Structure 1
Amino acid sequence: MNMPLHETQLVELVTDVAEALKLPLDLDEALRQITMSAVDSIDGIEYASISVTARGGAIETLAPTDSIATKADELQYELGEGPSLDAAITEPVVQVDDLAADPRWPRYGPQAADLGLSSQLAYHFRAEPHARGALNLYGVEPHVIDAEARLLSEMFAELVAVAMGWSRQQGTMNAALQSHQIIGQAVGILIERYRLDSTRAFAFLVRTSQTGNTKLRTVAEGIVADAIRQAQ
């Protein structure tokens, strides 16, 4: 099981994934890099895949890290229910802490548990011009998805969208990387300044953002700028 990431590790991780997204882009390899990096870096996540919808309503799995992820995805397609389908089609994010006990998917949940899965997180993405889908993350233990897992999962979902729509989103890639680096730096500052763990530091950023009705990146930029002023 992986340890929580701190600021320097987060920046290094984003940089490594970005290397796979440089032109000329091999889309299959880029997506594999993203799903493998998600499994390697998100605590409690053992398998990952990407569900992509087509104009006609068909849905397929890309870049699975293991056959179990493929089986779980295909089970949801076959049954017509599940977190991956909900996130690919309508919901921004779907989190499941205990698949066997969750009543939202009465057929899928128990069968996913039979595959050895207990937790699941699915993040919606949309890529120009027409692609949309979900980044699917699976855990074998219940209740392993925390604030840091959600933060990193959102980042990887954004990178999937960028990779799939690269030709029209190069600026988005640069903005996404810069945004997550700033957030990572702010988390690192809070960890050092207030002796918080990474989850609580991120939760502090989120609460400050919500209380002040300010974008998360803006809050992070303020913390980084204040740390620079104090160091001068």
Structure 2
Amino acid sequence: MRRERFERALETLATPVDSVECTADLFLQTFRVTGVSVSTIGDVLGNATVSASNGVAARIDELQFNLREGPCWDAIATKKPVLTENVTALPAHRWSAFRDAVSHEQVGALFAFPMFVGPLPVGAVDMYSSTPAGFSPVQVRQAVVLAELLARRILRLSSGPEACSSHGKRR
């Protein structure tokens, strides 16, 4: 069943569209998570949430932008997925301001997948679970593939007639 959802997500991301607003829902339907946000990060496209599946996902994104720390920043810096299976088990020094701020939300696990096109950072896909949870190696590979396809789509749209900035809130 999950493989079929992944295949549908691949097909959806391969289909030309003029918006990325519903892409968070695509990840939500593919993976066992509570919420998803998709954001652009960096100098090229600016910092913007371009899609969020729910209010908590949007707030998590907002907190990371405002505090300039959290899983999305680490994913961009390392160019690798960041898999935080239990937020309450984080070391005290890791994302201290972000961890304190997100403690007011029902967040048990956080996952961030960087979006790059070649060497160009586009942004990140952040997913959260309301309880501690993990991703299997297969799910990690699937999320990486989808994030890569989505990065290309966002970059294509940002250089087209209607830029990505019209779909998200810039910070």
| TM-score normalised by structure 1 residue count | 0.59
Confirm whether residue 40 of structure 1 aligns to residue 29 of structure 2: yes
Question: How far apart in 2 are the matches of 1:18 and 1:112?
Answer: 34
Alpha carbons of structure 1 residues 40 and 130: separation in structure 2 relative to 1, 3 Å: same
Give unmatched runs, 5+ long, in structure 2: 158-171
1:124 aligns with one of 85, 106, 114: 114
Question: How far apart in 2 are the matches of 1:99 and 1:109?
Answer: 8
Report how many aligned residue pairs link the two structures: 155
**Larger Cα Rg: Structure 1 or Structure 2?**
1
Question: How far apart in 1 are the matches of 2:79 and 2:148?
Answer: 15
Shift of 1:110: 3.5
Shift of 1:136: 0.9
Bigger RCO of structures 1 and 2 (CA < 8 A, at least 6 apart) = 2
Question: How far apart in 2 are the matches of 1:58 and 1:166?
Answer: 15
Give unmatched runs, 5+ long, in structure 1: 168-232
Residues 84, 134 of structure 1: 8 Å contact kept: yes
Shift of 1:18: 2.4
Matches within 5 A, 1:2-151: 5-6=2-3, 8-19=4-15, 22=16, 25-26=17-18, 28=19, 31-43=20-32, 45-55=33-43, 58-103=46-91, 104-127=94-117, 132-151=122-141
The Cα offsets for residues 138-187 of structure 1, whole Å up to 9 and x where unpaired, read as 111102322233122112201211202338xxxxxxxxxxxxxxxxxxxx
Question: How far apart in 1 are the matches of 2:45 and 2:31?
Answer: 30
The Cα offsets for residues 16-39 of structure 1, whole Å up to 9 and x where unpaired, read as 3323xx2xx30x3xx234321110
RMSD over aligned CA atoms reads 2.5
Percent of paired sites with the same residue: 21
Amino acid at match of 2:28: V
Which of the pair is proportionally richer in helix?
1
